[in-house]
Amino acid sequence: MGTPIVSRDCQVQAPEGPAFFTRVGVQQPVQKDGKWWECKLSLPGILEDDRVAFGVDEWDALQAGMQLVWIELDHKAKTGWQFSWWNGETTDVDQLLPQWGRELRPC
């Protein structure tokens, strides 16, 4: 797995299992077939299968990737997973990506 270019460290507690530390993020966008861009998500220990975000350019793919990370973690939080950011200061998934960063608007 590649190294994320945008990331955040967090502590994760699955409903069953020990707590662990990981770094969630989005990898460098890559152009595909000279048409669209994609970037892989980095969610080690949280998701077993790969997730990829797509966009019309690098910016769009990166923003979509950040939103997809939030969606995946929000879903996990709603199913009993716990995440803490900034040395345990918050467990609010909304603090990972503020509302303005999650908005995807067509150009």
CA–CA dist 61, 40 (Å, integer): 9
Q: How many domains are there within the chain? A: 1
User: Does a structural domain hold residue 106?
Assistant: no
Distance from chain centroid for Cα 4: 10
Per-residue pLDDT band for 101 (boundaries 50, 70, 90) equals low
Q: Where are the beta strands (DSSP E) in the chain?
A: 4-13, 20-27, 30-32, 36-42, 52-55, 82-85
Residue 35 forms part of a structural domain: yes
Supply the pTM of this predicted model.
0.82
CA–CA distances in Å: residue 21 to residues 10, 37, 51: 6, 30, 20
Q: DSSP assignment of 1-17, as one string?
A: -PPEEEEEEEEEE-SSS
**Domain span including residue 78:** 4-99
Q: How confident is the model over 71-79, as a mean pLDDT? A: 92
User: Which tens digit of pLDDT belongs to each residue from 42-64?
Assistant: 999 999 899 999 999 999 999 99
Split at pLDDT 50, 70, 90, the class of 4 is: confident
Q: Which residues, at least 6 apart from 29, have a Cβ–Cβ distance to it below 8 Å?
A: 37, 38, 39, 55, 58, 61, 62, 65
| Residue 104 forms part of a structural domain | no
Per the domain annotation, does 16 fall within a domain? yes
